[in-house]
Amino acid sequence: MNKVLLSSHNTWSIYNFRLNLIKKLINAGKEVHIYSPVDDYSDNLSELGCIVHKANFIGRSKNLFKEAFALINWIIFLKRNSFEICFHFGIKPNIYGSIAAIINNLQYVNNITGLGDIFIKKNILQLFVKNLYLFTQKKAKKVFFQNKDDLKVFLESKIISNNSNYDLLPGSGVDLERFKQKNYDTNKKNKISFYFVGRLLKSKGAELFIQAAKKIKDENKFKNIEFFMVGFFEKNASKDAVSQKFLDESEDAGIIKYLGRSDHMEETLLKADCVVLPSSYREGTPRSLLEACAMGIPIITTNSVGCKNVVEHNFNGFMIKPNCVDDLKLSIENFALLTQEERIKMGIKARKKVELEFDENIVLDKYMELLDD
C-alpha cells in the first residue's frame, strides 16, 4: 500500500510546515492524502499532487455534539480509505485521528507540536484531554515531541512511559536551502526594522509588541526604529485575537505597519534586522524564529516553552520574560544600541545555531524511516 495520510487543523499549516515532507513522500512513490478543514491553501496542496479531503472539525470548538460528529466522521473516513500510515499534527488530529486509526487498525504517528494552555489550566477539560491522550499515545507507532518540556509533561502525567516509542525532534526544522543567510549591509545607516512574525494573537505576544512599539515611539528617543507585523489576523480566535480596531488604530498612528500574511518569508524577512516573538503560548518550536535565524537575523523572544529552545541570550538574540512589556521594550532598545557589526555577528551565530541543531533534513529523515520499518 502506498497511501499516506497527513492531518492537521488547517491546510495552511500543512502547506507551510510540511511542504518538503509531502515532496519527499511523493518522490518516494507515495500517494499523499490530506484530511483537514480546508482553507485558501487546499488548492496549493492539490497542485502539488495531494488528494485533499475536507474534515469538519474546528480547532477551537468545545461543542460536544460537534466534536462527537467530527470523531464519527473521522472513523468513517478511515473505514472507507485505508492508509499505510497516518501522520497527525496538532491536538485534535492527535486524539481524534488516533482513535479513528485504532478502530480501523491503522498505523499512526503523532506529533506534539505544542500544548498551548491545555495542560496549564486545571479543569475538567484538561482531565478529559489527558485521559484521551493516555488512551491514544501508547498505541502510536511513534510519538514525536518538539521540545523537552512537553516530553516531560507527558512522562510525569504517565501519558507515555520511558519504554514508549517516542522521539525528540528539533521542531519542524527549517529548510536551510530556502532560507539562506542574507547579505548584510555593513554600512547601514537606515532605520532598524523589528518584525513580529506569527498569528496575531495576544498569547503570541502580538498585542505586547504593539504596546512596546507605542512606548518607544511616544518617548521619541529612538528615531531610527520601525516596527512591522506579518501573519494571520485570526478573526475567529475569540478573546485571544488582537482586535481589528486596535490593529487599525496602531497602524493609523504610525506605530506599526501590518504587512498581512506571507507565503514567501524568505523574501519578506530580507529587510528585517530583528525578528520578535514575545510569546507566552506553550509553543512546540516556533518556525518563525527558526526561519529568522536561518537567514542570519537575530531574535528577541521569551523564556516560554518552545521559544527558549531557539534563543541564547546575548548570543543569537535576547531572551525576555513573557507578558512583560517593559522587558520587551528594553531589549528592543538594547538591540538598537548595538553597532551594525555587533548585530551582524549575532546574526551569523544565529545561522550557525540552526545549521547545527534545526536542519529540516533531520526531521524528514525521521519520518521517512518509519515508512521503511
Structural domain spans, the chain:
3-173+360-372, 192-357
> What is the C-alpha to C-alpha distance for residues 165 and 163, in angstroms, rounded to an integer?
7
The reply to whether 3-173+360-372 and 192-357 are identical in fold is yes
> What is the C-alpha to C-alpha distance for residues 254 and 276, in angstroms, rounded to an integer?
18
With a CB cutoff of 8 Å and minimum separation 6, the contacts of 323 are 208, 280
Closest Cα to residue 13, out of 40, 49, 48? Answer: 40
Predicted TM-score (pTM) of this structure: 0.90
CATH entry, 192-357, from 3.40.50.2000, 3.40.1710.10, 3.30.390.10, 3.30.460.80: 3.40.50.2000
pLDDT digits (tens, 9 = 90+) for 34-68: 999 988 899 999 999 999 999 987 766 667 788 88
Cell 472507507 identifies what position?
80
> What is the C-alpha to C-alpha distance for residues 207 and 242, in angstroms, rounded to an integer?
6
Mean pLDDT of 253-271: 94
pLDDT tier at 232 (50, 70, 90 boundaries)? confident
> What is the C-alpha to C-alpha distance for residues 216 and 226, in angstroms, rounded to an integer?
10
First-to-last CA distance in the chain? 14
With a CB cutoff of 8 Å and minimum separation 6, the contacts of 152 are none
pLDDT tier at 372 (50, 70, 90 boundaries)? confident
pLDDT digits (tens, 9 = 90+) for 213-231: 999 999 988 989 999 999 9
pLDDT tier at 156 (50, 70, 90 boundaries)? confident
> What is the C-alpha to C-alpha distance for residues 243 and 235, in angstroms, rounded to an integer?
8
Mean pLDDT of the chain: 90
**Quick one: DSSP state of residue 239?**
G
Cα atoms in the 13 Å half-sphere on the side-chain side of 237: 15
Identify whether the C-beta of residue 306 lies closer than 8 Å to the C-beta of residue 146: yes
Report percent pLDDT > 90 for the chain: 70
CB-based burial label for 185 (10 Å; 0-12, 13-18, 19+): exposed
pLDDT digits (tens, 9 = 90+) for 104-141: 999 999 999 877 666 556 666 667 777 888 888 888 99
At the top level of CATH, the class of 3-173+360-372 is alpha beta
Angle between helices 206-219 and 244-252 (to 10 degrees): 30
